[in-house]
C-alpha cells in the first residue's frame, strides 16, 4: 500500500503528514538525534483540544507491524498503559531500551498475529517517546514545560483517529487497550462506533473511581513537591525532579501488584546484608526502588503529570447522558477482561462495562500479580484473545471466567 504524502482531516487548520526521520520532537527520554528505532511520525499540525486550546505543531509517534490487507480490514490498534509506549513487540535495540511490552501477546504466531493483522500502536499524546509532550519544543523554541496544556482521553483518541486516517484505515478489525489504554479503547468505540468492529477492554473502566483518583493525587503530589520540579520548568536545570518521579512510580507500582504477591515474594526479609533495624531496607523496599529507577531512565515527570491527569478526568459518559447511555451506543463486538487480584481496577468496573455494552463477553484472568497480571499472564491473555477473535460475529452477554 502506498501512503499518501498528506491527507486532509476534519479538525484543525493544517494537514496531517506521515514522515520518516532520524529526529523528531524533543520529548523526555527520546530526543532529536537519537535513533528512532521502529518509530514513525505523523505531523498533525494544529490539534484542537477539549480545553478549547489548540496544540500547534503536534506530532504523534507510532509503530506498525504486518501488512495492511487490500481490503483494509485487518488493522488492529493496540493502546498502551500509563508509562508504556508504542513499542508493543520486538527486540530491544536502537531507539528502544527494552523489548516490546506485550511481545508474548502480539507478534508472529501470537494471539494478535502480525502475520495476519496490521498492528498499529501510537505513543500517547503528551507522552515522552516521540509524541508531542511537555518536553517538546514550543513555537518559541523553548520546551513547553509548565505551559503545556492539560489533555483528556478524547484529545488522545482524536489524534489517534487522525493517524488511522493517514494510514488509510477506515475501520479497525480490533481496538484493544489495557489499563489507561482501555480508557482510550472505550472512548474509541463510543466516539467512532463505525470505525471499531471488535473491542477488547482489559483491566480498565468506563470512568475513573474515587479510589483511583486518590492514588493518582498522591503521585501528583510526590512530583510537584520535589524541590527540583521548579513548577514544571526544569529542563534547563542540571537536576530534575527525579526523587518526586521515583516516589510517584513507587506509589503506583504498589497498586499494580497484589498484597498477596508482595507477601509471598518478600515477606519481611531484609535486603541482602542490610539491617532494617539500623536504617537498612527490606526486600520489598529494594524492589520498589528498583522499579522507580527503571522509570527514571526513560520517562519525563511532566509527561507523567499530563497523562495521569488524563486518567483522572476520564469519564466516557461525560456530556453523553451518563455512562450507561454512552456505553449503550457501542456497536462493536466486545470483550471485557479483568484480573481477579487487581486492586486498582476492581470487579465492579468490569461488571459495569459488561452490563452496559450491548454485545459483550467477559473473561477473568486468574493471577497472584494484581493489575500487572495483564502483562504477566500472557498465556491466559493470549488464550482469551484467540477465543474471542475466532468466535462468532455475534456474542451474548457472558461473565464466565477462563478455565
Catalytic residues: 179, 342, 371
76 - beta bridge partners?
119, 174
Please answer whether residues 206 and 327 qualify as being in contact, where contact means their C-beta atoms are separated by less than 8 angstroms.
Answer: yes
Q: Strand locations in 83-215, DSSP E?
A: 106-107, 112-113, 118-122, 172-178, 196-202
Could you give the CA distance from residue 107 to residue 65 in angstroms, rounded to a whole number?
Answer: 8
- Contact indicator for 119, 8 with CB cutoff of 8 Å: no
Mind giving me the DSSP string for 301-349?
Answer: HHHHHHHHHHHHT-BTTTTTTSHHHHHTT--SEEEEEEETT-SSS-HHH
Contact 27, 300 (CB under 8 A): yes
Question: Cα separation of 205 and 375, whole Å?
Answer: 17
Instruction: Return the axis-axis angle of helices 153-166 and 180-191, rounded to nearest 10°.
Output: 70
CA 28 distance to own-chain centroid: 16
Distance, CA of 173 to CA of 120 (rounded, Å):
11
Give dist(CA 13, CA 46) in Å, integer. 6
Measured distance between the N- and C-terminal CA atoms of the chain, rounded to whole angstroms: 41
For residue 3, the SS3 value is: coil
Helices and strands counted in the chain (H then E): 11, 11
Closest of 224, 243, 254, 48 to residue 152, by C-alpha: 48
Q: What nine digits make up the cell of 172? A: 479497525
Q: Do 101 and 84 contact (CB within 8 A), yes or no?
A: yes
Cβ contact 103:60 at 8 Å: no
Amino acid at each position: 500500500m502506498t501512503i499518501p504524502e498528506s491527507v486532509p482531516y476534519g479538525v484543525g487548520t493544517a494537514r496531517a503528514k506521515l514522515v520518516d526521520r532520524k529526529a523528531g520532537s524533543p520529548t523526555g527520554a527520546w530526543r532529536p538525534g537519537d535513533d528512532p528505532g521502529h518509530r514513525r511520525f505523523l505531523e498533525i499540525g494544529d490539534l484542537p483540544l477539549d480545553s478549547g486550546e489548540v496544540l500547534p505543531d503536534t506530532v504523534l509517534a507510532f509503530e506498525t507491524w504486518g501488512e495492511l490487507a487490500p481490503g483494509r480490514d485487518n488493522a488492529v490498534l493496540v493502546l498502551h498503559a500509563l508509562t508504556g509506549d508504542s513499542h508493543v513487540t520486538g527486540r530491544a535495540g536502537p531507539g528502544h531500551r527494552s523489548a516490546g511490552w506485550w511481545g508474548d501477546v502480539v507478534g508472529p504466531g501470537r494471539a494478535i498475529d502480525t502475520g495476519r493483522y496490521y498492528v498499529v500502536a501510537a505513543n500517547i499524546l503528551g507522552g515522552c517517546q516521540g509524541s508531542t509532550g511537555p518536553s517538546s519544543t514550543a513555537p518559541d523554541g523553548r520546551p513547553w514545560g509548565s505551559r503545556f496544556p492539560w489533555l483528556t482521553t478524547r484529545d488522545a483518541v482524536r489524534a489517534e483517529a487522525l493517524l488511522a486516517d493517514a494510514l488509510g484505515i477506515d475501520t479497525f478489525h480490533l481496538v484493544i487497550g489495557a489499563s489507561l489504554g482501555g480508557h482510550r479503547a472505550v472512548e474509541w468505540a463510543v466516539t467512532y462506533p463505525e470505525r471499531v468492529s471488535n473491542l477488547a477492554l482489559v483491566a480498565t473502566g468506563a470512568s475513573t473511581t474515587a479510589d483511583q483518583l486518590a492514588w493518582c493525587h498522591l503521585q501528583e503530589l510526590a512530583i510537584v513537591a520535589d524541590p527540583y520540579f521548579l513548577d514544571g520548568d526544569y529542563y534547563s536545570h542540571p537536576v530534575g525532579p527525579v526523587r518526586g518521579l521515583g516516589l510517584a512510580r513507587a506509589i503506583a507500582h504498589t497498586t499494580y501488584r497484589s498484597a498477596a504477591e508482595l507477601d509471598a515474594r518478600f515477606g519481611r526479609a531484609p535486603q541482602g546484608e542490610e539491617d532494617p533495624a539500623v536504617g537498612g531496607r527490606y526486600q520489598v523496599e529494594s524492589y520498589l526502588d528498583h522499579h522507580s529507577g527503571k522509570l527514571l531512565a526513560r520517562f519525563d515527570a511532566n509527561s507523567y503529570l499530563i497523562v495521569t491527569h488524563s486518567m483522572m478526568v476520564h469519564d466516557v459518559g461525560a456530556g453523553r447522558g451518563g455512562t450507561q447511555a454512552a456505553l449503550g451506543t457501542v456497536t462493536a463486538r466486545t470483550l471485557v477482561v479483568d484480573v481477579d487480584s487487581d486492586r486498582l481496577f476492581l470487579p465492579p468496573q468490569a461488571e459495569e462495562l459488561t452490563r452496559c455494552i450491548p454485545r459483550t463477553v467477559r473473561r477473568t484472568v486468574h493471577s497472584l500479580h494484581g493489575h500487572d497480571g495483564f502483562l504477566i499472564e500472557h498465556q491466559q491473555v493470549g488464550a482469551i484473545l484467540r477465543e474471542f477473535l475466532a468466535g462468532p460475529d455475534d456474542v451474548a452477554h457472558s461473565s464466565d471466567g477462563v478455565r
